[in-house]
Amino acid sequence: MKRLLALLLVSLFTLAAAQGQLEIFSWWAGDEGPALQALIDQYQGMYPDVEVENATVTGGSGVNARAVLKTRMLGGDPPDSFQVHAGQELIGTWVVADRMEDLTFLYKEQGWLEKYPAGLIDLLSAEDGIWSVPVNIHRSNVMWYNPAKIAELGISVPTTWDEFLSSCSSVQAQGVTPLVMGENWTQQHLWESVALGVLGPDDWDALWSGDLAFNDPKLIKVWDTFGEVLACTNDDAAGLSWQQATDRVVSGEAAFNIMGDWAAGYMSTTLGLTPGEGFGWAASPGTEGVFMMLSDSFGLPKGIANRDNTLNWLRLLGSVEGQDIFNPLKGSIAPSFDSDLSRYNAYSQAAAADWKTNRVVGSLVHGAAAKEAFMSQFATVLEIYLSSNNAGSAANAAQAIASQVGVGQ
Ligand code: GAL
């Protein structure tokens, strides 16, 4: 009893004592912000005297945030904590540069080693440390649609890319875009779903272990299929954000979109649609039974001004309470085994069931599969394909980058 009282006093003292600032850096800006805001509100309730700065840099998938982060990290001005994908995005860049603190002590203190899937902890670990705390698990390979529109078009949701391609011209003839696409990174996002559908999970994994070359004939087939799919997309892709592409599915201007399940968060939280009614979903063609995952995480940079406040932030986002506040709004699921699924909508419950039973592979575009050096140069490979329409050139360019950065080593 005495011990309990002492513990209570200590924790009350810690809560009350937390002061100063906390800067949280991410790309969850604007209509992508509600989940983060809910987590920050929770933090503010616990630590009312801490001044939280929600520093966001707009741009889906972190395309702009990563550049700003680089400038700040290299300039000796790290944010207290920043969003980063679990995997090589952090490890290959900031851990190898010795800019991050090892968080193994926090994992032990919080009992997280037993609370998160071992595969996820592996992804967060390297160089004898665990380098960030995951707040979610997103799925990349999802095809979204508007059920009423699909019925009106007289088509079914395709389970293979061949099926999709066979209905493409009939959808176009009805004045509807078969597949809406947005700016460059969303095109890479589409590519990874096409690649997974064409290659299957074993060959997808073989790419990242270095056992399958990027210019293997199987990859030529991927680029050729990608080219056929592109012919069924909108002409103004370069000017659309991922949200604007999603909007076209919701309005019925487009039949399908391939996007990660932050689109479910956007459609349910921001647009107020009910999963299964306002929007439908399926594994992207050819990937049923495979869950292409990615995870957003936050770390502890070395040399920050507000280390204690940051540790409390990490404790919150790693906790089941924090994750069950954040993820129902975000469209993702909680890494924690203790997550309360009754707090999630029908889409997320389905994703959680798939996460448990599916074959899990990592996303390229969202940092899980390959070194950041490969991922960031993949935008150029895509440009090469778009300008040349030549599968061989794209495949060779990808292989050249893979050899240069040492994919699989
Ligand atoms: C991903 C990120 C998601 C979501 C998405 C769109 O890279 O992991 O949480 O923010 O970008 O911006």
Confidence class for position 409, pLDDT limits 50, 70, 90: confident
Give the span between the Cα atoms of 366 and 361, in whole angstroms.
12
Give the span between the Cα atoms of 42 and 37, in whole angstroms.
9
pLDDT of residue 258: 98
Give the span between the Cα atoms of 306 and 359, in whole angstroms.
40
Tell me the average pLDDT across 220-232.
98
Residue ID of nearest Cα to ligand 1 atom 1 = 61
Residue 200 has pLDDT above 70, yes or no: yes
Distance, CA 203 to ligand 1 centroid (Å)? 25
Confidence class for position 127, pLDDT limits 50, 70, 90: confident
For 301-311, the pLDDT digits (tens) are 999 999 999 99
Q: Is 262's C-beta closer than 6 angstroms to any atom of ligand 1? A: yes
pLDDT of residue 196: 98
Give the span between the Cα atoms of 177 and 58, in whole angstroms.
27
Q: Is 62's C-beta closer than 6 angstroms to any atom of ligand 1? A: yes
Q: Is 89's C-beta closer than 6 angstroms to any atom of ligand 1? A: no
Tell me the average pLDDT across 261-290.
98
Distance, CA 60 to ligand 1 centroid (Å)? 6
Tell me the average pLDDT across 205-230.
98
Best probe residue, ligand 1, of 136, 244, 262 (max atoms within 8 Å of C-beta): 262
Give 260-294 as a DSSP string.
-THHHHIIIIIS-PPBTTTBEEEEPTT-TTEEEEE
Q: Is 367's C-beta closer than 6 angstroms to any atom of ligand 1? A: no
Distance, CA 240 to ligand 1 centroid (Å)? 16
Owner of token pair 């902890």: 121
Two tokens, residue 273? 């649609």
Pick the CATH number of 140-292+363-405 from 3.40.50.10140, 3.50.50.60, 3.90.550.10, 3.40.190.10: 3.40.190.10
137, 354 contact by CB (below 8 A): no
Residue 407 has pLDDT above 80, yes or no: yes
Which atom of ligand 1 lies at the shortest distance from residue 85's CA?
8
Identify the H or E element spanning 127: none
Give the span between the Cα atoms of 82 and 69, in whole angstroms.
8
pLDDT of residue 169: 97
Q: Is 60's C-beta closer than 6 angstroms to any atom of ligand 1? A: yes
pLDDT of residue 111: 98
For 14-59, the pLDDT digits (tens) are 555 799 999 999 999 999 999 999 999 999 999 999 999 999 999 9
Percent of the chain with pLDDT over 70: 96
The domain over range 2-138+295-361 is classified in CATH as 3.40.190.10: yes
For 262-272, the pLDDT digits (tens) are 999 999 999 99
Which atom of ligand 1 lies at the shortest distance from residue 366's CA?
7
Give the span between the Cα atoms of 158 and 387, in whole angstroms.
28
Residue ID of nearest Cα to ligand 1 atom 11 = 61
Which ranges in the chain are annotated with CATH 3.40.190.10? 2-138+295-361, 140-292+363-405
Tell me the average pLDDT across 105-133.
96
Which atom of ligand 1 lies at the shortest distance from residue 136's CA?
9
210, 399 contact by CB (below 8 A): no
For 393-404, the pLDDT digits (tens) are 999 999 999 999
List the end-to-end C-alpha distance of the chain, in Å, as a whole number.
54
